[in-house]
Amino acid sequence: MPTSGMTVGAPSWRYLPVALALVLPLLVCAGWTWLYANNAQRQEAGIAARIVRVQAERIFAQSRDMLERVAALAPGACPDLLPDLQRWGALNPYFRSLALARNSRVYCSSALGEVDASIDDFSRWPVRISPDSWPRTVAGTPLAPDRPAVLLGKSRPDGYGGIVEVDGRYVQDLLDAVATMGDFQLELIVGKGAPIRSESWGRPASHVVPLYQETADEPGGAALTVNVMAPAEALVQAWSQSMLTYLPVALLIGAGLALGAYRLQANRQSFKEQLRRAMRAGEFHVHYQPIYSLASGRCEGVEALMRWERPGSGPVRPDVFIAAAEADGMIIALTRHLLMLIERDARTWATPADFHIGVNVAAEHLSSAGLVADIQAFVANVAARRPLVVLEITEHSLISDNGQARRNIDALRAEGLRVAIDDFGTGHCSLSYLQKFPVDYLKIDKGFVQAIEPAGGEAPVLDAIITLASRLGLAVVAEGVEVQYQFDYLKARGVAFVQGYFFARPMPSVEFVRWYAGGAQPDAAA
């Protein structure tokens, strides 16, 4: 139910939630696809790293076997052992050279034959090595200073040892092949040695993102590390691709949410604004409920009852929107609108002079200085029909009066209008008000009529009200008469008017015109 105090802030901020509802799914989509793309890249990098590690381990396993064989050759003179070294080096893939060492000096090499070089020569590429710290990757060897290699060495207690140089080309080819999987940069490091890198390596560090590191412990005691990086642009590209895939969905969700937020916002519009808009849009109309005179046996008047039909959400109960309009200070505007609608409807009627038109007037309107002018204007506009306008006011209006209501009533009654106390008996009216206020009718609330028992039982409170009214010289209108025995009961007690479904339901003006032309009296009342 609409309530007061729902006015929202400046229009510029009003649709902020709508904008947020639209933008939020896009932001979530951007964030989520970023994570997704990152994750996918990392997974691929992980696969790439594992491929490199497995392949590298295979090469190193062969190299270790070879190292065992080379180290086992010594001791012996180089010319004696060289043929074996050369054969093994030539027939097996991967090896640049196989060499024998004695007391830290290389004395025999499959590539150079008999030599006398210090093992420390290797230390130029790039770190000092000692036989017990092998294997490791190096940036170059004395034979090929610019080409990386993997060195494996084994020393024996007798001072002899073997050295195996694995050509880094194999590792590099492997790294290059795997790098194409995802525009990766790869490097492999064995021990604390120099990294062997894929050809794609070389972008500035600020432009690459480390994606994955795979490490494994080699049986030789050194760690094998594979690092995978990717250029930042590759990540951004992967992200924008998945973003493109999910963007339409995010847009749809955003549009749906924004629409929902917009509707919510529209509903939250101040109730006043809604009423004003509804009046402008012509959503209000009036139903007329005939009032039957027992004296004449005819319909002698109607009560105008307001109806609000909201497009899309159907009718709003009058007691609900009337109460809300009263709470929001809109009831006067709404009643003026009602009067205007009645004026329009009444032009089509064929009712005689003095036909009663009952109009409900709320307390605030009754005690406002503008009431008399409003009603005078109304009376002037329906003058062609010369109806008798009856203001239906509540007991509450009388109690809360500070004088203005009384002045209004006096002024209007002086001009020939009538006043009815509506829903009599349901409010907290002190009977003294009835003496103080000059009124014409008592409308007995339907609750008392419904208290009439079907089998001719008594309804003492109803009887008391009817008696009271006649003593005060007020005509009684009984509301909510639905069945024959209620009608009979009221008729027997001299009630002047009845209103209720038994006689007729409230109906739109067109229907009322037809109904009125058709005789306008119930069979049972005849």
CB closer to ligand C2E, 178 vs 507: 507
The DSSP bridge pattern shows strands 441-444 and 475-478 to be parallel
Angle (nearest 5°) at CA 215 between 211 and 216: 155
Among 90-98, 165-173, 472-480, 495-503, the segment contacting Ca ion (CB under 5 A)? 472-480
Residue from 422, 465, 496, 497 touching ligand C2E (CB under 6 A): that is: 422
CB closer to ligand C2E, 395 vs 422: 422
Residue from 136, 272, 418, 446 touching ligand C2E (CB under 6 A): that is: 446
Residue 197 lies near ligand C2E (rule: CB under 6 A): no
Which residues, numbered 16-45, are part of the site for ligand C2E (CB under 6 A)?
none
Extract the tokens encoding 488: 């009979």
The secondary structure element, H or E, covering residue 199 is none
DSSP state string for 9-30? --HHHHTHHHHHHHHHHHHHHH
Residue from 405, 423, 434, 498 touching ligand C2E (CB under 6 A): that is: 423
Give the x/- contact pattern for ligand C2E in 159-188, rule: CB under 6 A.
Answer: ------------------------------
Among 125-133, 314-322, 383-391, 516-524, the segment contacting ligand C2E (CB under 6 A)? 314-322
Residue 299, CA atoms < 13 Å, CB-side half-sphere: 28
DSSP state string for 220-240? TS-EEEEEEEEEHHHHHHHHH
User: Which residues in 285-317 are b (16+ Cβ under 10 Å) and which e?
Assistant: ebbbbbbbbbeeebbbbbbbbbbbeeeeeeebe
CB 395 within 8 A of CB 437: no
Burial class (CB in 10 A: 0-12, 13-18, 19+), 350: exposed
Reduced to 3 states (helix: H, G, I; strand: E, B; else coil), residue 526 is coil
DSSP state string for 82-148? HHHHHHHHHHSTTEEEEEEEETTEEEEETTTEEEEEEGGGGGGSSS---GGG--EEES--SSSTTS-
Residue from 422, 474, 489, 509 touching Ca ion (CB under 5 A): that is: 422
- Cα separation, 206 vs 197, in Å, equals 18
The DSSP bridge pattern shows strands 136-138 and 113-118 to be unpaired
Residue from 185, 198, 360, 397 touching Ca ion (CB under 5 A): that is: 360
Residue 395 lies near Ca ion (rule: CB under 5 A): no
- Cα separation, 167 vs 37, in Å, equals 36
Least gap, CB of 335 to Ca ion (angstroms): 12
Least gap, CB of 258 to ligand C2E (angstroms): 37
CB closer to ligand C2E, 230 vs 322: 322
Give the x/- contact pattern for ligand C2E in 272-311, rule: CB under 6 A.
Answer: -----------------x--------------xxx-----
Least gap, CB of 281 to ligand C2E (angstroms): 18
Among 123-131, 140-148, 480-488, 512-520, the segment contacting ligand C2E (CB under 6 A)? 480-488
Among 24-32, 264-272, 315-323, 375-383, the segment contacting ligand C2E (CB under 6 A)? 315-323
Residue 318 interacts with which of Ca ion, ligand C2E, none, CB < 5 to 8 Å by class:
ligand C2E
Least gap, CB of 433 to ligand C2E (angstroms): 19
Applying CB under 6 A, the site for ligand C2E has a residue count of 21
Residue 511 lies near ligand C2E (rule: CB under 6 A): no
Residue 480 lies near ligand C2E (rule: CB under 6 A): yes
Residue with tokens 């130029």: 124
- Cα separation, 86 vs 74, in Å, equals 15
Extract the tokens encoding 129: 């090595």
CB closer to Ca ion, 129 vs 361: 361
CB closer to ligand C2E, 171 vs 481: 481
Phi, psi angles (nearest 5°) of residue 63: -65, -40
What's the one-letter identity of residue 12?
S
| 113 CB neighbour count, 10 Å cutoff | 12
- Cα separation, 91 vs 56, in Å, equals 19
Residue 84 lies near ligand C2E (rule: CB under 6 A): no
Residue 423 lies near Ca ion (rule: CB under 5 A): yes
Residue 318 lies near ligand C2E (rule: CB under 6 A): yes
Among 139-147, 324-332, 408-416, 478-486, the segment contacting Ca ion (CB under 5 A)? 478-486
Which residues, numbered 333-372, are part of the site for ligand C2E (CB under 6 A)?
335, 338, 360, 362
Residue 506 interacts with which of ligand C2E, Ca ion, none, CB < 5 to 8 Å by class:
ligand C2E
Least gap, CB of 253 to ligand C2E (angstroms): 42
Residue 84, CA atoms < 13 Å, CB-side half-sphere: 17
Extract the tokens encoding 514: 């037809």
Residue 466 interacts with which of Ca ion, ligand C2E, none, CB < 5 to 8 Å by class:
none
CB closer to Ca ion, 345 vs 479: 479
- Cα separation, 67 vs 163, in Å, equals 7
Write out the residues near Ca ion by the rule CB under 5 A.
360, 392, 422-423, 479
Write out the residues near ligand C2E by the rule CB under 6 A.
289, 304-306, 318-319, 322, 335, 338, 360, 362, 422-423, 446, 480-482, 499-501, 506
